[in-house]
Structure formats: structure tokens, C-alpha cells
Amino acid sequence: MEKGKLFGTDGIRGVANVWPMTGEMAMAVGRTVAHVLQTRPELHGKTSLPVGIRGLESKTPNRRAKIVIGKDTRLSGYMLEQALASGILSMGADVILIGPLSTPGVAYITHSIRADAGIMISASHNPYPDNGIKIFSADGFKLPDELEEEIERIVHSNDLDRAPRPTGELVGKAFRLDDVHYRYVVFLKSRFADELDLIGVKVAIDCANGAAYKTAPLVFEELGAEVIKIGVSPNGLNINRECGALYPSALAESVKKNAAHIGISLDGDGDRCILTDENGEVVDGDQIIGLCAIEMKRAGKLDHDTVVTTPMSNAGLAISLQKHGITMLRAKVGDRHVVEMMRKNGYKLGGEQSGHIIFLDSATTGDGILAALKVLEVMRRTGLPLSQLKRQIQLFPQILENIRVRERTPVEDLPTVQKKIQNAEKKLGEKGRVFVRYSGTEPLIRVMVEGENREEIQRIASDIADELRKVIGA
């Protein structure tokens, strides 16, 4: 089997049917996840090991492992779902197939039905030819780096090819769970002590033709809102296509045309959202984090008066929060790293500018629907429109350039690029910053420049981006 780095910042991802997102690799990952569960009982907090192989020795099982598999709406999801299931079943573990459901929905169902692990098949915001695999432990949290590395090592070692396999009644069974959408709707509604009343509220929602196309409209409708829906007709090929969180302008016109109070743009797997206020203006993840943090502190629910973001978050967010006595910390890029810092230190709110918002007292991962409901709760309590609430967070001008690359040469090994970055940092001084990093999910390098003067930072960003295109551009 071809070898190389499998896991990025958010699971395994790539073009479907091209390494590493092949059926063969998905089967190997499925087998390995089942194997690791059997040899690492502490992962699911159960002392009774689940299936018929412990290590590489054949044993009679006293309990079967259960692994949930969910997916978004990509055509390739069928192929990868069956391959993963086949690998898991071949190791004597059982599979619970739940079909299209958001990433946070899969995390919730995994924990809710006391499964031993959950797997989400999705490439999130990427275009439809891509796909990915995200793995959750029994508690609904994404796997830590060291466990992903162990899975990767076993997959590449091919040790399981030589292992005894269950036969007869020890082979795993597959089941289908059909009511997951309703279970998740009930869960989301239960996150509010007093059930959120959205009667009289008009909501426009764009589900990106993705995993949340059923659940998201249903939540808001059951809470009494009038819902205008777009991006709810997936055909396997149109996920994220000029819709959803990457294209909030697709919803802005609908918000204005229908006089909606708020627009909610989700991404393909429903774990992030970008909002649109009643005037059709975009409200990004930083602003959502900010206004929710201020409300949580007012209610005495912001533990340690601290939120966690990443280097991509706007410096204006930190300054705005400071005015309210709130500290902003930065974790490494990726919502998984944000969650790890939150769990380690007991923080309750964190997220990314891209729209991954984590409310750790309600969910184990970013949840676009939950984030939108939290903002609507603030709007309901204050009686203020989103356009006014977002003014509490004054952001600096920020430019983001994405450059497609042919190789991932470390930035520090690109002297001409380094020189341009250093010159830019010197020019901006303390009134701006430059951040350059490779995407963990796509063959891209991102250039972010922040400062007081938009024209100046646009020139700087373009200058660095042009140099990157010259030396490593695809």
C-alpha cells in the first residue's frame, strides 16, 4: 500500500479515489480503528474488550464494539462508507450506518448510543470531488495527535494483513439507524434551559447541499421560525458549489429579498457557520465568538473569562473582548487544537474565524446550527438586530490570499518569501501582522495580512502571494 502522511489538521482528506482517499485505504483505516479499539480499552472506558481479536491473537469475544459511520452528501460517500464498514466488520466489530448527518451530529450520536467510536466521511468545505475521514472517540471528541499517529503507523505497517481474522459468528454485523435527524433536533433544542422561542422570527438558511440539509431547517421550524431554505437539494455533485459558508453572498440576496432577521450559511458537513445580518452584511466567526462571549460573561457562564481562537482570528476581536474584561488565547490552527486547549484549561467557548464555534458545555466539536441558535438567543434576549450586536466587535481590515501549490516546502526554506514577510512586518510594526501557513486540508498556502489601512495590507498580501506563486505555485 502506498505510504505517506495520512492525517492533516482535520482527519484524512484528498480527492476521492486517489490516494489516500481510496477504497483500499478506507478499508485499511476501518480495520485499524477496530483493532485499536480492541487493544486500547481505555479509549472507550470499558474494561470488557469488544471483539474477536486482541492484539494479533484470536479470542472469543464477550462484547462487540459498535462504530458509527455517518457521511455528507458527496457521491463518493457511498464508496468510502462501504469500504470502511467492510474493514470494521472484518475485524469482528459492528457498524451502525446513519447516512447523511452533520459532523457534530455524528459526534453526538456516537456518544448518545454509547458507541465505541464514530467516523464521519466528509471533506467539509472542499469541492465535491474531494472527501475525507474524521474519527471520534466514544466521548464524541476528535482523536488526539498521538492516536492518529498510531493508526497511521499500523495502516502503513500492514501488520493486520497477517493477523488472524474472525470467522463464522464472530464476523461483525451492520445495522442502519434511521431516526438520527430527529434525535439530533431534540438534542439541539435541549441545549437551552428555556426552550428557545423563534415564533415571529424569519430565518434564511443555506445548507450548502450538504450533510445538514434535513436537520438544520427542521430545528428552526420546530422552534417556530419561518424558514427560507436554499442549498437543500443535494445530488452528490453540488455540495459547497457556490453556496454555503464559503459563499455567504449566495444567501445575502435571499435575506434582503425576504426581509429575514438573520441568514445562516453552513458548510458541507455542518460544523461551521457564517451569518448574515438583516442588511445582508456578513458576520464571520470572530464576530460570532465575540458577541457570544460578551453574552456568556454577562450571564456568568464564561469560565475564566477566556475564549480560545487561532492565529487566523482578527486582532480586533482581542481588543474588543478586552474592553469587556475577556481574555483571548490562540491555539494552533484547527478546531481540534482549539478544543484541546479548552478541555485542558476548563474554557467553555472557542472557535475559528472560518465559523467553527465550540460551546464546550453543549457540544464536543464545532456546530454551525448550535452557533446560530446561540446568536438567535442573544437577539431574542436583547431585542437587538444582528447588525447592532456585531458592532460590539470592531475588526481590523484583514486580507486573506489562498495560493494553490505544487509542493509544501517549509516557508522558512523560501528565502525570497521570507524577505518579503520580514519587510512587511517591519512596515506594519505593532499596528498589523502577517501570518503565512499551509492548509491542512487542501494543497494551498494561505497568506493573511492584517492592519489599519486596507489598501496597504492588500498590496502586502498580493506581493507575498505573487512571490509564493513564483516559487511553489501549482
Run of H or E including 170: none
Q: What is the mean pLDDT of residues 142-160?
A: 89
Query: What predicted TM-score, i.e. pTM, was given to this entire model?
Result: 0.88
CATH number of 183-392: 3.40.120.10
Strand partners, 306: 327
State yes or no: pLDDT of 57 exceeds 60.
no
Reduce the secondary structure of 32-95 to three states and give it as a string.
HHHHHHHHCHHHCCCCCCCCCEECCEECCCCCCCEEEEEECCCCCHHHHHHHHHHHHHHCCCEE
State yes or no: pLDDT of 194 exceeds 80.
no
- What's the mean pLDDT when you consider all of the chain? 92
Q: What is the pLDDT of residue 42?
A: 55
State yes or no: pLDDT of 432 exceeds 60.
yes
Q: What is the mean pLDDT of residues 387-401?
A: 94
State yes or no: pLDDT of 472 exceeds 90.
yes
Report the amino acid identity of residue 449: V
State yes or no: pLDDT of 41 exceeds 80.
no
All three cell numbers of 382, joined, read 436583547
Longest dimension (CA), the chain: 70
Run of H or E including 290: helix 285-298
| Residue 346 Rama label (left phi>0; alpha psi -120 to 50; beta) | left
**Residue ranges of the chain that CATH labels 3.30.310.50:** 398-472
Distance CA 373, CA 184 (A): 14
Residue with grid cell 419561518, as numbered in its chain: 226
Q: What is the mean pLDDT of residues 49-71?
A: 59
Grade residue 395 by pLDDT with cuts at 50, 70 and 90.
very high
Q: What is the pLDDT of residue 63?
A: 63
DSSP 216-264: HHHHHHHTT-EEEEES----SS-TTTT-GGG-THHHHHHHHHTT-SEEE
Q: What is the pLDDT of residue 37?
A: 86
All three cell numbers of 395, joined, read 475588526
State CA 114 to chain mean position distance: 22
Distance CA 96, CA 299 (A): 39
Sequence-separated (6 or more) residues with CB below 8 Å from residue 222 = 185, 189
Mapped onto helix, strand or coil, the DSSP state of residue 276 is: strand
Strand partners, 465: none
Mapped onto helix, strand or coil, the DSSP state of residue 164 is: coil
Q: Which residues of 257-272 are buried (b: 16+ CB within 10 A; e: fewer)?
A: eeebbbbbbbbbbbbb
User: Cβ(71)–Cβ(100) under 8 Å?
Assistant: yes
Give the architecture (CATH level 2) of 7-177: 3-Layer(aba) Sandwich (3.40)
Distance CA 227, CA 214 (A): 13
> Smallest Cα–Cα separation from 266: which of 300, 241, 243?
243
Mapped onto helix, strand or coil, the DSSP state of residue 449 is: strand
Q: What percent of the chain has pLDDT over 90?
A: 83
The Cα angle at residue 139 between residues 134 and 140, in degrees rounded to 5: 35
Question: Residues 65-108: pLDDT tens digits?
Answer: 999 999 999 999 999 999 999 999 999 999 999 999 999 999 99
Q: Write the CA distances from 249 to 2, 78, 420, integer angstroms.
A: 41, 31, 33
Q: What is the pLDDT of residue 253?
A: 93
**Residue ranges of the chain that CATH labels 3.40.120.10:** 7-177, 183-392
Q: What is the pLDDT of residue 58?
A: 38
On the CB side of 9, CA atoms within 13 Å amount to 17
Distance CA 440, CA 134 (A): 13
Strand partners, 255: none
State yes or no: pLDDT of 49 exceeds 50.
no
The fourth-level CATH superfamily of domain 398-472 is Alpha-D-phosphohexomutase, C-terminal domain (3.30.310.50)
**Is 122 tagged catalytic?**
no
All three cell numbers of 446, joined, read 494561505
State yes or no: pLDDT of 55 exceeds 50.
no
The Cα angle at residue 408 between residues 403 and 409, in degrees rounded to 5: 110
Question: Residues 205-260: pLDDT tens digits?
Answer: 999 999 999 999 999 999 999 999 999 999 999 999 999 999 999 899 999 999 99
Distance CA 416, CA 467 (A): 7
Question: Residues 263-304: pLDDT tens digits?
Answer: 999 999 999 999 999 999 999 999 999 999 999 999 999 999
State yes or no: pLDDT of 60 exceeds 80.
no
The active-site residue, picked from 102, 124, 362, 439, is: 124
Distance CA 14, CA 443 (A): 9
Run of H or E including 4: none
User: Cβ(68)–Cβ(119) under 8 Å?
Assistant: yes
Mapped onto helix, strand or coil, the DSSP state of residue 96 is: strand
Strand partners, 204: 228, 263
Mapped onto helix, strand or coil, the DSSP state of residue 399 is: strand
Q: What is the pLDDT of residue 39?
A: 73
Q: What is the pLDDT of residue 56?
A: 36
Q: What is the pLDDT of residue 47?
A: 37
Q: What is the mean pLDDT of residues 120-149?
A: 94
pLDDT: is 293 or 157 the higher one?
A: 293
**Cβ atoms within 10 Å of 38's Cβ, excluding its own:** 23
Q: What percent of the chain has pLDDT over 70?
A: 94
Q: What is the pLDDT of residue 192?
A: 87
